[in-house]
Amino acid sequence: MKTAIETLENLFYEKILLYQDLLECLKRERDCLAKTDIDGLWEIAEQKQSVVSRIESVRGKILSDLSEAAIDHRMDAVSFDLACVYSLIPGMHAERIKTAYLSLVALKGEIRQRSQENKVFIKESLDFLDELIGIITGANKPKPLYDNGRSLTSKCHTNLVLHREV
């Protein structure tokens, strides 16, 4: 059991390193978004995918280690839950892994926040571009409608980016 706990502890620290790599990718992604560096974004996307694959691999190793230690976890790679894994570790061994577990929880929170910030940045940038293109093409100007010689103004706003009537 002791060797299984040592292996589990090593896997937790390996996972910490991978989460730090993922966090670094998200920070570089934000820089590339601000610079509109498309090539850099593609490169970072590949790196993020590689890190995520390695994280999933570590998840499998953790579950395998729990099984070898005869700890019934009832999880697979998809339903993996770090809090559940930590709760399954016997009390005398849990203290040894507590620091790594808390570090992982903090890193996951920071990654979630950074990822959300990047998504908001992308959405705001695309909304700005949509509005800018709409202004340039005149898509947001009211269009005159004719009814028996009278000109009426349409009050609806079109969301089409490049819409023009000829």
pLDDT tens, per residue, the chain with 166 residues: 567 778 888 998 999 999 999 999 999 999 998 888 889 999 999 999 999 999 999 988 888 887 777 777 777 777 788 888 888 877 877 888 888 889 999 999 999 999 999 999 989 888 888 888 888 877 666 555 555 555 445 444 555 555 555 4
pLDDT for position 155: 47
**How would you class 65 by CB atoms within 10 Å of its CB: exposed for 0-12, middle for 13-18, buried for 19 or more?**
buried
User: How far is residue 120's CA from residue 137's CA, in Å, rounded to a whole number?
Assistant: 26
Measuring CA to CA, which residue among 67, 49, 47, 59 is closest to residue 15? 59
Sketch the domain layout of the chain as residue ranges.
2-118
For the chain, the C-alpha Rg in angstroms (whole number) is 26
Q: What is the DSSP letter of 79?
A: S
pLDDT for position 117: 93
User: How far is residue 18's CA from residue 111's CA, in Å, rounded to a whole number?
Assistant: 12
Measuring CA to CA, which residue among 115, 113, 3, 120 is closest to residue 51? 115
Q: What is the dihedral of CA 27, 31, 36, 38, to 10 degrees?
A: -50
What's the pTM? 0.73
CA angle 135, 136, 139 (to 5 degrees): 55
Topology (CATH) of 2-118: Methane Monooxygenase Hydroxylase; Chain G, domain 1 (1.20.58)
User: How far is residue 143's CA from residue 154's CA, in Å, rounded to a whole number?
Assistant: 6
